[in-house]
Amino acid sequence: MKKIYAITFLIGIGFAFSSQAKLPDLTPEAKEAAELAKAKTEYGDKKAAYALCMAQNKVAKSYAVKDKVVATPDCVDPGEFKPPVAAVPADTPATTASTTPPAKPAETAKK
């Protein structure tokens, strides 16, 4: 019976490793959407941590004894959500005000 389990396990492992496929690269739009989703998630985590800190401070103050001061951590408000700035692709040349247009070739005199 143990041999059957071992053989079934090894066959299953073989199928698992043989069926690994490489996914195509993400499009720039998909990468930007993923970065935005990640930024929104991080912002939500910061807001939740701020709300938790405020609640903990409120509870700590309610249990404080009149004679003792309870030291509570400062809560940092994350502010408003700011979406990440899309980076300029490296393959596009940057234009500056000091660039001059290319010079035209000299015209030859027609005779």
**Mean pLDDT by 10-residue block, N- to C-terminus, for the chain (111 residues)?**
77 70 88 94 96 92 78 88 70 52 57 49
Asked whether residue 98 is assigned to any structural domain, the reply reads no
**Cβ proximity of 75 and 54 under 8 Å:** yes
Asked whether residue 86 is assigned to any structural domain, the reply reads no
Asked whether residue 88 is assigned to any structural domain, the reply reads no
Could you give the number of structural domains in the chain?
1
Q: What are the Cα distances from residue 107, in Å, to 16, 72, 73, 75, 100?
A: 70, 80, 76, 72, 20
Asked whether residue 44 is assigned to any structural domain, the reply reads yes
Domain containing 61: what range? 27-78
Q: What is the mean pLDDT of the chain?
A: 78
Asked whether residue 31 is assigned to any structural domain, the reply reads yes
Asked whether residue 32 is assigned to any structural domain, the reply reads yes
Asked whether residue 47 is assigned to any structural domain, the reply reads yes
Give per-residue pLDDT as tens, 19-50: 677 888 989 999 999 999 999 999 999 999 99
pLDDT given at position 34: 93
